[in-house]
Structures are given as C-alpha cells and as structure tokens.
C-alpha cells in the first residue's frame, strides 16, 4: 500500500453562515490522502491550507468527547475516528440535522443536551446527604457495571440526527433521553419510582412516541443497547399506565 | 457595552471548574460557568484509568491510608510539590470519591473471593475480603505502594464529568457555552472578572464578579505531539500571566505520558500497565526490568518515558514510516479483561490503528500529556499577586505535583481542588475583601483594549500567518523542549520563540466576517500560547538540574542544594519577549518528608544542607511521640488541618478501622 500513489480525495462540504445570511451550498475541497488519515486530519488540513474560515468542532479527537458528530456520506458519525480509507474518493460532509446550526459543520448540541438534562432531571435524586467520612454504601459489582454500560453515552447527537420520530415531533426526547432514564432507573441511589419516570417520559414525546425505526441503535458510536432499553422502558411505562 | 454581574465566575467547565462552582453555589452564591465547549465535552472526559484515593478496600490496597498516599505523591513529585497541599489533598481525596459515588458515578466494585490478575508478567490469584464486597475497588498505577486508583472501566473521567456536570445542572448553575475569556479585568492587585468573547457571535461581554476562578486545564497544544485535546491551549493561564500581577509556577515541569498511540498521540491509559501490560522493544524483549528493577513498567511516568526514549536511542525501537516506536503488550490480560476494563483502549486501537489489542501489540511512544505548572496559587487556591482570582485543576500550580504528577492524581486533583476552592471562594465572597468595588469606566477600558487588539488583527494589514507561527512553535517545543533537554537546544528554542512572538504581533487575518471566525481565534490564541511556550522553554533553560519530568542531559543530577525551589514566571510589560523569572524556596525545615531517593530512578541527588538535620528532627519527633495519636504526631511534624475547609475536616473511615 505504501508504494501506491496516494488517492486524491474530494471533501464535499455543506457550507453555510447564518450570521452573514449565507444559505447552505456545497463546496468541494481537494486533499491528498495520507496513511492513517482521519476526517479530523483532513478537515484541519483544509482549514490550515485552503480555507481558514471553515467551521467544525473537534475536542478530544479520540472518539471520547462526542463533539464531532456530522453526516458523513449522509450517515451520522464521529468525524475524528472516521478513517478516510474506509470511504470512496468523494466524501460528503454535512452538519447534523435537528440541532441549531452555527455554521458549516458546527451545530449547537450543547443547548439541546442541557435542555434534555433539565427536562428529564438526569441526576441522582436522593433525599439523604451522603456522609463523606463514612465507608461508602456497597453496590453489587455487576450492577455497577450494568449502570456504566448505559452511562457510556457521550451526547454526540448521532442518535438524535438519525431519529425518524424527531422529524415529526420536535419535542421528542430521543434515544439519548430515554437511555438516560434507563440509566437512572437502574441506579438504586436514585430514589425516583416508575411513577416519577412515567411523568417524564410516559407520553408521545417520550417512550410512546418512538416509532421503533431504531436508526439511533444503528448509528450510536458507542454501541449502546438502545433498542433493548427503549423496548424495556416502554414495557415498564405501560405497566405504570395500566395501573 | 454589555456587563453581566455574578458572585462567582468560573472559567472552564471541566471537572475542576464544575466542582468549584457546585461548592460555591451550595453556599448560596450566584455562579456562572464559562466554557469553550459544552461542559461534558471538556478534556476531563478523556481521563481513562482512574482517580487515586486511599480507601484501602481491595486486598492489594489493604493498609493504605493518607500517609502512604502522601509519601507516594511527594516522591512522585521529586520533592518539588508543596507538602502541606499534598497532605490537604490526600485527606480530602477519599471524601471526593465517596461524594462522587453518592452523585452517581458507577465506580467499579470489589467482588469478594478469589480472582486472577496479571502482575509482573505472571498470573496470580488474589483473594478479596468478604466484608469488602461491593465497596469501591482500585487498580494498580505507577509510582504507588498500594493499589489505590479507583476506576470506572477505562472511562473514569467520562463518568465523573457526567456526574458532576449533571450535578451542576441540578443546582441550576448556568453554563455559558462557546464563551472564551480573553482578558482578566483587574486593578490594584484585585481581580474583578473577565472580558469574554462569544465564539459564535464575536461579541465581547464583560463578566464582573466578586471572585473569579480559572479552571481551563493544561496547555499541551503548545507541543506538536500531545495527548491533549485541541482546546487545551492554556488561554486561562495566559490571561492570568498577562495581568502582570499573577504569575505562573514551574512552567518547565511538563509531563510526557509513556503510552500514547504512535503516531497520533492519542492516550492509552496507564491502567494498561497497572493491570499487567508490558513494554517491549523491536526484538519483543521486555526492557523495563533492565532499567528499573524495583518498579519496572510501574515506575513514575517521567522515569518510564525517559527509559523508553533511552531504549529507542540505544537502537531498540521499532522502525516505521513515521519514525520509531515501542510496543505495549496487553495481550496477556486476555480478551475478557480488555472488554470489561480497557474498552476505550480497545475502541481506540480498533478505530485509529485497525488492531485488536487482545491479539496485537499496540505501537506507543511518549507524548506531552500534562502541565504540572500553571497559575501559582496558595493552598487556598488564591492566585499570588491578584486577590479575588482563584485557580484549580491542571490550570493551577497549587502545587500538588511538583515536577512529576502520579497517574490517577490529576483527575483526583480536579475534584478535590474543586471542593476546596469552591469553599474558599464562598468564604472570600462572604468576607469584607470580597465586596465588589469596580467602576464601569474600568470595565469599559478593558473591553476597549481587547477590542482594539482584535481590530488590529482584523484590520492592521498584518502579513504573518497564525497557522505557520503556531506550527513552528509546536515543532520547536516538541523538538527542543521535550523529554531530554540540553542548554544549547533550549537556548535555540528561546531565541526562536522570541522571534516568533515578535512575528505574532504582525499576524493578519483574512476572514473579516462578524461572528464565528476560526482564523481570528487562531490568531489571538497563538499570541498568548507563545508566551506560555517561552515560560516553559526559558524556565527549562535556567533550571540547571534534573528533577522529575525536567531532565537536563547537561545537568543530570537533582540538585537540592541549589534548586529546591519553584520557578515563578511573570509578564508585566506586554512588550517584553521573555518572562521575568523569580524563585520561591521550598523549605526543607518544614517538610514532613525531607528529600531522598524516590524508590525508582536516579540515586545521585545533590543533598540540601538542611536535609540531614531535618531528618534527625523528624526521627526525634517520632521517637518522642511514640504511639501517640496520628493527628498529634502530624501536628508536630507538619500541621495542615488549618488548610482544610471546615466541612471536610474529620477522620476518613475505612473498613476494619479500630474506631
């Protein structure tokens, strides 16, 4: 492979600048592929050498922080860990839908996720104040691991961008929201009951709105078990609703 | 002119800033957090392996306590840390872990009974106590006598950041995202807040506050090869430096992490070695025992990184088209262990290298990782020289880490310092010194000065390119101010960086649009980053000894007689091209643990004349107090309890305590 001449890549990027009233339009950039090149490397090369005004968001560039969700050839994914060699010579990049557009590939996931956190109260609800000097309360080791399994969500927004329901119901909590409820529901430190959770997600903007298209499950970069969690939550919430 | 008022302004939405904000909020004060990115995207999320706290729940942690953690930390720092701060830290760390447990962090838990682990290349069976079942577990990390690093698989920082970030939401603390502090507002040695640029609209806003806290993390991006996130550019430290009143401590103390994947520089956790992973060379030989028979792969990071580079220099590196590297072998841990405890490592290997670490060796080489230096504060977290300015976490030089930080002590420092500084800021705000006395004329002046600087970049017809200058700076730092340092190379680095700083004053920006403008951002940031780079390089040039991560080939011995002191870098004149350096002595006569051998690494330190008398004095104190209560002995050796905020005082209970 190293003896081959490198591929010439075309990155076709959906540009826009709402602050200047510039409508979305496609613009092609040409870069020479390098070994191990990721979209992080390619986009920075474009900004450093071709167009310093290009907007995009990277933070950790290691697939951990969730900043760089975008549509890569139409599919939501993390740009930092997408290797160009896994794509054809023409790669299209567009900002994630649903979220407010800042410009080019940059969208405002932060406000959306903060709104979700406030709405679903994604924190431990406990009446007791912990005694920090005392030996901590024990937890079943397997349970701690099961909670972490759902705690791995990085709020990248790929599931939101891949959600069919969100196209029709803009107040739908999305897989990210439902997964958080599943996570806190599993956690014995959170004293909320299923009745409490029903108040949060027991309607069409919650778990009953999901059309089970499950694009979320397919595109989740962390491979979270969204399909089973949504199905399980729906069953639990039906049980509350029937009471 | 837009001015926002608040009691406490926290700059930085990572773990340290969030925890400090929660502390001040819970004391009843209004808090605003500024963050470059959504808070949960902060670099704290990338901490993988874990957080040190001496809970002592696991079999290999039995007998652990604050004393052992303290000694490990001081030895790790190569006696460069502030020992009272280290005491304060080890005291509060168990409380921090327990608080996080209450806030929802799914810490890995002890499973009673026998289990197989890998130690020193062999499978060993450990037996966990039944009474410890379900308590918080710990893994081994470098430079520690006990297994003390509490963890959540290898996503510890992520789990902590999400818990604390959600706690901040629960407390109703606003986080103003995509906002960057570009100058501190100050007068007469008192900080009044910051001039802040909205990264989306480009607007400048003044945030006026009784107390301001900088928690912006490290500055790894002044290097080309770094594990740091792209936002770790040290702008928080730089704006403190630019006040000319505050100063930066020990900027030459820069940590290089032994295992970042080659060549991308992405971190794979020290937990790989803590859990039994080995370092191997081109011949497949495990070389660390040859250099470090005591701690092998688990010596401190400065020592392991140096040994790795030494081994590559000796011709044992693996050659590749990008240069040479070594191997990290975790295949011996088995697929089940990797799937459970090292899953981020597995994902990183798969996505960036296309390999499976359960079957393949991981190509690694040391890269810049952590900034021990930062805004110099006292033990309360308040900056030297600027009342009302606080700093915590990696942005600060508190100074817990001295010249080398132990793995697992940084993510611990974020929350512990956040707990302590949050309380201290609340005390400050409630005190007469915390009253706000600032004129809007002063605020207007600072806003105008910053706007003028931006206008110069946008309309000054400058011809220099920020991208070129930045790339050159990063090359200089990586090539000449790296793991092995030499006087001649450091002199070249300082000269070249000064020339770059002068060129940076003539940067021109082509993109003139209002609002989001990455080109403008790169321009004003590189001007600030160059000042930090100069603090690092010039501090390293002046320090003619080797201590911790600062290694001078031309001065290879630790020199306690002349260099048991902290470098303080100031920048009072905006047109100077070198920092003004001053030094702050570390007083051996007050140390609980006088300088000695670390237990790994070199043994040839030049002794300080006060070391032997202090060691004799300590022996006499221990003799005189015999079996007295630990707290009483502590009081005689080195008092620190007065530094502990009231709500964190007391005895940390452990399993099997007699009381």
pLDDT in tens, B275-320: 999 999 999 999 999 999 999 999 999 999 999 999 999 999 999 9
**Banded model confidence at residue B631, pLDDT cuts 50, 70, 90:** confident
Joined tokens for residue B235? 């702008």
For β-strands B204-214 and B389-391, DSSP reports them as parallel
A:82-121 residues touching chain B, CB 8 A cutoff: 83, 102-103, 106, 108-111, 113-114, 117-118, 121
Looking at the complex, does the CB of residue B359 fall below 8 Å from at least one CB of chain A? no
Mean confidence (pLDDT) of chain A: 96
Q: What stretches of B183-242 show up as alpha helix (H) in DSSP? A: 235-241
**Tens digits of residue pLDDT in A36-82:** 999 999 999 999 999 999 999 999 999 999 999 999 999 999 999 99
Mean pLDDT of chain B: 96
Query: For residue B286, what pLDDT is reported?
Result: 98
Could you please report the per-residue DSSP string of B98-113?
A: HHHHHTT----B---E
Phi, psi of B434 (to 5 degrees): -85, -10
8 Å CB contact of B134 and A138? yes
Structure tokens of B117?
């682990």
Cα–Cα nearest to A208, from A162, A158, A165: A165
ipTM above 0.90, yes or no: yes
Say what the pLDDT of residue A3 is: 56
Mean pLDDT across A88-107: 97
Distance CA B87, CA A176 (A): 41
Check residue A1 and give its pLDDT: 47
Does residue B376 carry a pLDDT above 90?
yes
- Torsion angle defined by CA atoms of residues B78, B81, B85 and B87, in that order, rounded to the nearest 10 degrees: 10
Which residue is listed with tokens 């819970």? B26
Choose among A2, A20, A189: nearest Cβ to B104.
A189
pTM of full prediction above 0.90: yes
**How does residue B514 score in pLDDT terms, banded at 50, 70 and 90?**
confident
Strand partners, B622: none
Chain B contacts of A102, Cβ < 8 Å? 178, 200, 516
d(CA B556, CA A71): 52
Backbone angles phi, psi at B582, to 5 degrees: -135, 170
3-state secondary structure of B342: coil
Residue B657's pLDDT band (boundaries 50, 70, 90)?
confident
Kindly tell me if the per-residue pLDDT of B44 is higher than 70.
yes
Whether residue B353 is predicted with pLDDT greater than 90 in this model: the reply is yes
**What is the pLDDT, as a whole number, of residue B513?**
81
- Give the model's pLDDT for residue B59: 96
User: Is any Cβ of chain B less than 8 angstroms from the Cβ of A45?
Assistant: no
Q: Do A20 and B516 touch (CB under 8 A)?
A: no
Q: Which residue of B has its CA nearest to A66?
A: B41
Residue A107's closest CA among B455, B186, B617, B516? B516
Query: B611 at the A interface (CB within 8 A)?
Result: no
For B321-435, list the strands marked E by DSSP: 323-329, 362-371, 374-376, 389-391, 396-397
Q: Does the pLDDT value for residue A94 go beyond 70?
A: yes
Q: Name the band, by pLDDT with cuts 50, 70 and 90, for residue B567.
A: very high
Which residue, among B23, B46, B50, has the nearest Cα to B412 in the 3D structure? B50
A33 in contact with B at a CB cutoff of 8 Å?
Answer: no
- Mind listing the pLDDT tens digit for each residue in B389-412? 999 999 999 999 999 999 999 999
- Provide the pLDDT for residue B224: 96
CA distances from B535 to A72, B242, B570, B571 (A): 41, 12, 9, 9
The Cα B374–Cα B393 span in angstroms is: 9
pLDDT at B484 over 50: yes
Number of C-beta neighbours around residue A134 at 10 A: 11
pLDDT of A168-227, one tens digit each?
A: 999 999 999 999 999 999 999 999 999 999 999 999 999 999 999 999 999 999 999 999
**pLDDT higher than threshold 80 for residue B322:** yes
Nearest Cβ partner for A103 among B109, B158, B516: B516
Strands B190-198 and A100-103: unpaired
User: Which pLDDT belongs to residue B659?
Assistant: 46
- The DSSP H or E segment spanning B212 is strand B204-214
Choose the catalytic residue: B75, B257, B376, B614. B257
CA distance B35 to B518: 16
**pLDDT of amino acid B633:** 92
């Amino acid at each position: 492979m190293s003896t081959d001449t490198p591929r010439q890549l075309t990155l076709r990027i959906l540009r826009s600048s709402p602050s200047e009233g510039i409508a979305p339009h496609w613009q092609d950039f040409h870069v020479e592929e390098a070994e191990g090149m990721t979209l992080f490397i390619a986009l920075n090369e474009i900004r450093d050498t071709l167009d310093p005004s290009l907007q995009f968001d990277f933070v950790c560039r290691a697939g951990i922080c969730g900043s760089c969700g975008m549509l890569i050839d139409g599919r939501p994914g993390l740009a930092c860990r997408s290797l160009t060699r896994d794509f054809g010579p023409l790669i299209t990049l567009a900002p994630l839908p649903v979220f407010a557009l800042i410009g080019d590939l940059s969208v405002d996931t932060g406000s959306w996720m903060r709104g979700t956190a406030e709405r679903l109260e994604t924190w431990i609800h406990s009446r007791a104040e912990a005694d920090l000097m005392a030996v901590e309360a024990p937890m079943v080791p397997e349970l701690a691991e099961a909670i972490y399994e759902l705690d791995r969500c990085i709020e990248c927004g790929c599931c939101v961008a891949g959600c069919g329901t969100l196209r029709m119901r803009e107040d739908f909590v999305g897989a990210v929201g439902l997964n958080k409820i599943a996570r806190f529901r599993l956690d014995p430190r959170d004293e909320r009951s299923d009745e409490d959770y029903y108040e949060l997600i027991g309607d069409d903007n919650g778990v009953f709105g999901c059309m089970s298209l499950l694009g979320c499950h397919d595109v989740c970069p962390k491979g979270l078990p969204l399909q089973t969690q949504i199905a399980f939550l729906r069953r639990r919430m039906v049980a509350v609703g029937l009471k | 002119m837009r001015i926002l008022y608040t009691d406490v302004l926290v700059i930085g939405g990572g773990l340290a800033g969030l925890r400090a904000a929660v502390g001040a909020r819970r004391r009843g004060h209004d808090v605003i957090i500024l963050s470059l990115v959504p808070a949960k995207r902060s670099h704290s999320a990338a901490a993988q392996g874990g957080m040190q706290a001496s809970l002592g729940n696991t079999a290999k942690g039995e007998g652990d306590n604050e004393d052992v953690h303290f000694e490990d930390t001081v030895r790790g720092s190569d006696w460069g840390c502030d020992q009272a701060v280290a005491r304060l830290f080890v005291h509060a760390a168990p409380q921090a872990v327990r608080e996080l447990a209450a806030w929802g962090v799914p810490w890995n838990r002890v499973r009673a009974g026998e289990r197989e682990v890998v130690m020193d290349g062999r499978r060993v069976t450990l037996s966990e106590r039944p009474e410890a079942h379900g308590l918080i577990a710990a893994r081994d990390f470098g430079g520690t006598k006990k297994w003390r690093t509490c963890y959540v698989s290898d996503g510890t920082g992520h789990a902590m950041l999400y818990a604390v970030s959600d706690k901040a939401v629960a407390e109703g603390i606003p986080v103003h995202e995509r906002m960057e502090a570009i100058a501190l507002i100050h007068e007469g040695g008192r900080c009044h807040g910051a001039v802040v640029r909205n990264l989306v609209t480009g607007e400048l806003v003044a945030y006026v506050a009784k107390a301001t806290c900088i928690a912006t993390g490290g500055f790894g991006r002044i290097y080309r090869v770094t594990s740091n996130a792209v936002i770790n550019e040290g702008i928080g430290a730089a704006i403190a430096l630019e006040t000319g009143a505050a100063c930066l401590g020990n900027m030459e103390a820069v940590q290089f992490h032994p295992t970042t994947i080659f060549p991308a520089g992405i971190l794979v956790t020290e937990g790989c070695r803590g859990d039994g992973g080995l370092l191997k060379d081109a011949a497949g030989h495990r070389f660390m025992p040859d250099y470090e028979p005591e701690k092998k792969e688990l010596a401190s990071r400065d020592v392991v990184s140096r040994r790795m580079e030494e081994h590559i220099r000796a011709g044992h590196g693996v050659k590749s088209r990008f240069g040479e590297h070594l191997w990290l072998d975790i295949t011996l841990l088995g697929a089940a262990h990797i799937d459970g405890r090292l899953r981020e490592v597995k994902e990183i290997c798969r996505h960036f290298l296309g390999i499976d670490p359960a079957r393949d060796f991981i190509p690694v080489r040391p890269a810049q990782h952590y900034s021990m230096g930062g805004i110099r504060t006292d033990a309360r977290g308040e900056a030297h020289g600027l009342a009302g300015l606080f700093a915590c976490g990696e942005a600060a030089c508190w100074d817990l880490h001295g010249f080398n930080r132990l793995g697992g002590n940084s993510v611990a420092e974020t929350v512990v310092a956040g707990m302590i500084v949050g309380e201290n800021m609340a005390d400050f705000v409630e005190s007469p010194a915390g009253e706000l006395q600032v004129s809007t004329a002063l605020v207007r002046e600072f806003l105008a000065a910053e706007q003028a600087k931006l206008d110069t970049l946008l309309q000054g017809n400058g011809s220099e390119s920020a991208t070129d200058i930045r790339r050159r700076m990063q090359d200089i730092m990586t090539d000449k101010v790296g793991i092995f340092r030499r006087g001649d190379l450091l002199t070249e680095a300082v000269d070249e960086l000064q020339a770059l700083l002068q060129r940076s004053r003539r940067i021109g920006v082509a993109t003139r649009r209002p609002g989001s403008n990455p080109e403008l951002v790169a321009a004003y940031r590189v001007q600030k980053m160059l000042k930090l780079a100069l603090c690092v390089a010039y501090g390293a040039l002046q320090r003619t000894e080797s201590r911790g991560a600062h290694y001078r080939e031309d001065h290879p011995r630790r020199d306690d007689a002349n260099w048991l002191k902290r470098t303080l870098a100031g920048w009072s004149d905006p047109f100077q091209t070198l920092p003004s350096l001053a030094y702050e002595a570390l007083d051996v006569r007050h140390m609980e643990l006088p300088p000695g051998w670390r237990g790994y690494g070199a043994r040839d330190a030049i002794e300080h004349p006060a070391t032997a008398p202090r060691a004799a004095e300590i022996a006499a104190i221990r003799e005189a107090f015999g079996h007295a209560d630990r707290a009483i002995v502590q009081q005689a050796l080195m008092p620190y309890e007065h530094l502990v905020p009231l709500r964190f005082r007391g005895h940390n209970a452990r399993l099997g305590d007699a009381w």
